[in-house]
Amino acid sequence: MLKNMLLTIILCLTLTPVMYAADNPSPKQPGDRIDDFTLKGIDGSSYTLSDMKSSKAVVVIFWSTECPFVQPYRDRVSNMYNDYSKQGIAIWAVNANNTESLADVQEHAKKNDYPFPMLKDVNNVLADQLGATRTPEVFVIDPNSNVVLYHGRIDDSREADKVTTSDLKNALDDILTGKDIAVKTTKQFGCTIKRVEK
Amino acid sequence: MRYLGIILFLIVVKIYSQDVLPLSSIKDLDALKESGKGKVVMVNFWATWCKPCVSEFSSLVKLYNDYKDKNFMLIFISVDVPEDIESKVKPFLQSKGVDFVTYYNKFDKADDLINYFDTKWEGAVPSTYVYDKNWNQTANLVGSRSYDIFEKEIVKDLN
């Protein structure tokens, strides 16, 4: 009787986090280490984290062709790409939406003339690994240790003229000056990532 | 004259019950929580710019109408910007037949509102939380759902 009770308790404790993770993935937080990954860009090239060891940071931003919370960031992220890529920081936009085909993403990228690489996360593999749930959502990764340095939003307003804190920029500036990132985690509302049915 | 008075009164009541009230502090959320004690509460975060939020909205309004007399409370919290409440949120709510008070986000820091409901939630909408009569969270649904799934989640807590 006691053996059965103990077994039940152990099963509940081990299964519960798995069940939660399957429905609502827990995002990787600053300090967490992630696995190496490779995604195909919409330009046909491969993008691998472990190839980026000469970069000071790799910024992954989950993106969408449709989310009205993402579109207003086109100029801000394009400008950041133009500024920070010269300083050794890579910025990769990642589309993990099952509802947006490669062709949709290619057309959208062309129409918006994005200067930054756009990667397609087929079957949400990277989104699942990082625990990403919305667009836009940012993970800044150290490509030498594979540790997450910053997780959260680009800044605090959808509208460029209402921004009061540029959280991602602040984090990147801290990285470039060798400082510990002052604000490592932020949150913001955004659209859900449209995952495949598994 | 009397009839005019009655009509005016009814109009005022209707307008009042279609109010969209701001939530700007933890105190506001605590007051909301207090008002839900003893009921099964479903909190739905949505926005007019969010397609899946809009597509599941009618199911939620139907759920409210089907269960409002059974100790069920539905709290809609819009995360549209405050500037869009009059021009977008209120007309949308009216088009969906919402005749009860709903809320909108007026927090300075989105983190404070988000973390009050779930520290693991990153702010993706739609997101729906279900609480039993003692405000224990019994469901946490990120992404849109059907009427049947919403119903299942509240029926399990209504005894």
How far, in Å, are A29, A149, A171, B23 from residue A175 at the CA level?
A: 17, 9, 6, 35
Q: CB distance A192–B47 less than 8 Å?
A: no
Identify the pLDDT of residue A13.
45
Global ipTM: 0.85
- Closest-CA distance of chain A to residue B12, Å: 33
The angle subtended at Cα B88 by Cα B84 and Cα B89, nearest 5°, is 90
Q: CB distance A192–B120 less than 8 Å?
A: no
pLDDT in tens, B118-145: 999 999 999 999 999 999 999 999 999 9
Any bridge partners for residue B88, and if so which? Answer: none
User: Which range is least confidently modeled, A3-12, A42-51, A139-148, B67-76?
Assistant: A3-12
pLDDT at A1 over 90: no
Contact predicate A57/A141, CB 8 Å: yes
- Closest-CA distance of chain A to residue B7, Å: 41
> Is residue B96 domain-resident?
yes
Identify the pLDDT of residue A196.
85
Q: CB distance A189–B47 less than 8 Å?
A: yes
> Is residue B92 domain-resident?
yes
Identify the pLDDT of residue A100.
96
- Closest-CA distance of chain B to residue A54, Å: 30
pLDDT at A11 over 70: no
Range of the domain at B36: 19-155
pLDDT at A17 over 60: no
Contacts of A193 (CB under 8 A, 6+ apart): A62, A64, A96, A97, A124, A127, A132, A133, A134, A135, A137, B124
Contact residues, chain A, for B140 at CB < 8 Å: 23-24
Mean pLDDT value across chain B: 92
The answer to whether A32 contacts chain B (CB < 8 Å) is no
- Closest-CA distance of chain B to residue A92, Å: 20
For residues A18 and B38, the model is more confident at: B38
How far, in Å, are B11, B42, B101, B116 from residue B132 at the CA level?
A: 34, 9, 20, 16
The answer to whether A114 contacts chain B (CB < 8 Å) is no
Supply φ then ψ for residue A139, to 5 degrees: -125, 120
Q: Which amino acid is at B137?
A: Q
The angle subtended at Cα B46 by Cα A132 and Cα A18, nearest 5°, is 35
How far, in Å, are A106, A132, B41 from residue A128 at the CA level?
A: 23, 7, 30
Only one residue has tokens 């959320």, namely B29
Identify the pLDDT of residue B111.
94
Identify the pLDDT of residue A65.
96
> Is residue B75 domain-resident?
yes
Q: How far apart (Å, rounded) are the C-alpha atoms in residues B154 and B67? A: 9
pLDDT band at A18 (very low <50, low <70, confident <90, very high): very low
Q: Which CATH class is domain A29-192?
A: alpha beta
User: Which range is least confidently modeled, B11-15, B42-46, B101-105, B134-138?
Assistant: B11-15
Contact residues, chain A, for B120 at CB < 8 Å: 24, 26-27
pLDDT in tens, B90-124: 999 999 999 999 999 999 999 999 999 999 999 99
- The CATH number assigned to the domain holding B60 equals 3.40.30.10
Nearest CA in chain A to B110: A188
Report the share of chain A in percent with pLDDT over 70: 87
pLDDT at A147 over 60: yes
In DSSP notation, A148-190 reads EEEEE-S-S-SSGGG-S--HHHHHHHHHHTTPPPS--B----E
Identify the pLDDT of residue B8.
73
pLDDT at A141 over 50: yes
Number of domains observed in the structure of chain B? 1
Nearest CA in chain B to A24: B142
The answer to whether A159 contacts chain B (CB < 8 Å) is yes
Identify the pLDDT of residue A3.
61
Contact residues, chain A, for B114 at CB < 8 Å: 187, 189
pLDDT at A4 over 70: no
Question: Hey, where are the domains in chain A?
Answer: 29-192
Q: CB distance B110–A187 less than 8 Å?
A: yes
pLDDT in tens, A83-139: 999 999 999 999 999 999 999 999 999 999 999 999 999 999 999 999 999 999 999
pLDDT in tens, A161-190: 999 999 999 999 999 999 999 999 999 999
